[in-house]
Each structure stands twice: as C-alpha cells, then as structure tokens.
Homo-oligomer: A and B are copies of this chain.
Amino acid sequence: MVTRDGRRRVTISDVASHAQVSTTAVSKVLRNAYGVSEAMRAKVQAAIDELGYRPHAAARAMRGRTFTIGVVLPHIRNPFFADILDGLDEQIAGAGYQAIIVQGGTMDPGSEGRAIDALVDRQVDGIFIVAPVLARSRLEETARSTPTVVLGRHDRSAVYDSVLDDDEVGAELAVEHLIALGHRRIAHISQKDSGPSRSVAWLHTIRARTYERVMAEHGLAEHVAVVATSYTEEGGYQATSELLARSLRPSAIFAGADQAAFGALAAIHEAGLTVPGDVSVVGYDNARVTALAHISLTSVDQDGAIMGKTAGRLLLERIIEGRTSAVRFSVTPTLVARRSTAPPRAITDQK
C-alpha cells in the first residue's frame, strides 16, 4: 500500500525480513501468542521499534481482532456520557483497546440502528450501547455476533450484558425529597417514547412510573403531572413552559435528566420566577456541571465512571475470556441536595 507521499507503510513482512524471521513469528510476538522463545521476542521487538511498525487494524480485522471497542452514544452533548466514557477508557486502555464513538441520535431507532451497523461493519471487537431505544430483539441480533454491553436498559437479556443504575430507587429519592420539603404539586419531565409502545425497558419509563407510584403512595395522585418531551435542554425548556402556563402551577419539578433540568431552570427564570423560591427543581445524573455554584442543581447521583469502567470490564471478559453468559450490573444512586430545592413558598411563608 502506497501512501500519498509515496512512502510504503511498514508492514509485518518488512519487520520479518529486517529481523530475519518469518511473518508468522512477528505475528506471534505481536499477539503475545504461545510458543515464542525469548530470543525471538527480543529480536522481533527490536525490529518493530526500529522500523516504527504499527499493526494495520483493517488487515487484522479480516482475520483476527481489531482491538477496538465501539461506543454508541445518543449524542455527545450530555456531560454525563463523558463520565461514563472516562471510566470505559481507563478500563480498556490497559488491555490495548481503543474506544471509537459514534453518535446514535436521540429517539430515532433508525439512526441508532445505522450507528450500530457502522460499528459492526468496521469489525469492532465489542460494542457498548448507551441508553438505546431500539427493540431488544434488534440489540440481541447484534449481540449474537459481537460482544455487547448495554447501559441503561431494564429489560433482561441472555445475550448481552447490562449496566444500569436502580432508576426506581433514584426516582424515589428525588420525589421523596421534594415531598419531604413539603411539596405537593410536583411535576415530572419525561422523554417521549420513540415507538408506539411504552416499554418498561427504558429508564425514562421507570423514572416516570416510579414518580407516579410515589406520588400515589403519598396521596398525591391528583397532582400527578407528566410532560413527555425529551431528556435535552430543549425538551426541559418546552415541558416547563407548558407546566408553568397551567392554572395550577407546580411548586416543584422532577426532571428525568440533568439536561432537561437545565432547560427547566431557563424556562422558570424566563417566566420571571425564581429557583427555588417559586419552583424547586431536581435533576438526574449528577453530571459535574450540576455542582457549579450558578446552577447548584439538586440531582440524583449515579456513578458514571464506575458504570463505564464496568462496561469495559464486561466487554473484555467476553472478548478475551470468551464468557457468553449474560451479566447484569446495577449501581445504587444517591441524592445530592443543592440549592435548587427548598420548601415551597406557602410553607416558607408560614414560618
């Protein structure tokens, strides 16, 4: 293969002839395969270093491994995904693996499917899919041929591994927190379902249902108000604008994701109201920015770094050790109370 500047890329046979051995030997050294003498290893390694040889991933992909993990993210705008990715990178880098990311698009199963296909076509050794909206059967189809770990889905699969946080606990923490502060008119911002059916597999469904359950348990069923837009700033802004326009304005909003909560903050402020004076806001994910003084958003914390790290480990287990049984890893979320939540005005005034 000739590169643009006319220089040939260094190949395995260049290394072989330079080290006076066969290409097979070089290949074995490269992969730390069984059956190479120390002398051979040293000689080959010297040649590799001298020539600056790097294995051609595409050629490898034809027969063996690519040492690549494909990551499907709905989009890279959510800072929480960055935490997840850092955990993944940390785990797989040591084993010589590279993560490549593709954007799957939000709420569109079609583009999500295309993103997954793109990764499969590029022969990645493992796939890590974050919060997919595709049908489980479609995910399993991919998982049958490529080791797969799915993050944030509650349905159980025997084919792929799952990493998730206990969204029921998380949502409960958020709603109970608001109720404990004295709120009754608590609204929830959820994500619109991408398909015709509402699946309990999606984390937004769990969060919404738990919100409804906890409200009912406290005798607040009549105050249940769910607006389903999307877990984005725009979605949060839009949902909140609608909620604030209602005759009985909520005194608190539980947003299903921090991104949506940011949009909610903007909408509340724009309506001339204050946080938490007029409306309290709780988010979910505890992305780093939530801690910023000017936002200071109360949020449900799930450890993204641990989740990403675990995903990496599970993937390597499948790839390297050949595990085929499905594993499910769940973290328990906690609530981080900040300045976006306070007792409702009425109660404050009574003091």
Residues of B within 8 A of A76 (CB): 76, 81-82, 85, 101
**Cα distance A122–B293 when bound, in Å?**
43
Q: Does A198 contact B (CB under 8 A)?
A: no
Q: Does A289 contact B3, Cβ atoms closer than 8 Å?
A: no
Residues of B within 8 A of A117 (CB): 54
Q: A233: nearest residue on chain B (CB-CB)?
A: B288
Q: In whole Å, how far is A107's beta carbon from the nearest beta carbon of chain B? A: 16
Residues of B within 8 A of A294 (CB): 262, 265-266, 269, 275, 294-295
Q: A99: nearest residue on chain B (CB-CB)?
A: B102
Residues of B within 8 A of A75 (CB): 82
Q: Does A89 contact B (CB under 8 A)?
A: yes
Q: In whole Å, how far is A139's beta carbon from the nearest beta carbon of chain B? A: 14
Q: A117: nearest residue on chain B (CB-CB)?
A: B54
Partner of A101, one of B7, B101, B262: B101
Q: A9: nearest residue on chain B (CB-CB)?
A: B145
Residues of B within 8 A of A293 (CB): 265-266, 268-270
**Cα distance A293–B5 when bound, in Å?**
52
Q: Does A36 contact B (CB under 8 A)?
A: no
Residue-wise, chain A 1-45 has the 8 Å CB interface mask toward B (1 for contact) of 001110101000000000000000000000000000000000000
Residues of B within 8 A of A89 (CB): 103
Q: In whole Å, how far is A219's beta carbon from the nearest beta carbon of chain B? A: 33
Residues of B within 8 A of A68 (CB): 122
Q: Does A102 contact B103, Cβ atoms closer than 8 Å?
A: no
Residues of B within 8 A of A59 (CB): 61-62
Residues of B within 8 A of A270 (CB): 293
Q: Does B145 contact A5, Cβ atoms closer than 8 Å?
A: yes
Residue-wise, chain A 290-302 has the 8 Å CB interface mask toward B (1 for contact) of 0111110000000
Q: Does A58 contact B (CB under 8 A)?
A: yes
Q: A324: nearest residue on chain B (CB-CB)?
A: B4
**Cα distance A122–B122 when bound, in Å?**
9
Q: Does A251 contact B (CB under 8 A)?
A: no
Q: Does A277 contact B (CB under 8 A)?
A: no
Q: Does A200 contact B (CB under 8 A)?
A: no
Residue-wise, chain A 48-79 has the 8 Å CB interface mask toward B (1 for contact) of 00000011111101100010100000011101
Q: A143: nearest residue on chain B (CB-CB)?
A: B4
Q: Does A98 contact B (CB under 8 A)?
A: yes
Q: In whole Å, how far is A238's beta carbon from the nearest beta carbon of chain B? A: 14
Q: Does B54 contact A62, Cβ atoms closer than 8 Å?
A: no
Q: Does A54 contact B266, Cβ atoms closer than 8 Å?
A: no
Residue-wise, chain A 200-239 has the 8 Å CB interface mask toward B (1 for contact) of 0000000000000000000000000000000001000000
Q: Does A103 contact B85, Cβ atoms closer than 8 Å?
A: yes
Q: Does A349 contact B (CB under 8 A)?
A: no
Q: In whole Å, how far is A276's beta carbon from the nearest beta carbon of chain B? A: 12
The 10 A-B residue pairs with the shortest CB-CB distance, nearest first, are: A269-B293, A58-B61, A3-B145, A77-B82, A101-B101, A5-B144, A58-B123, A57-B121, A100-B100, A266-B293
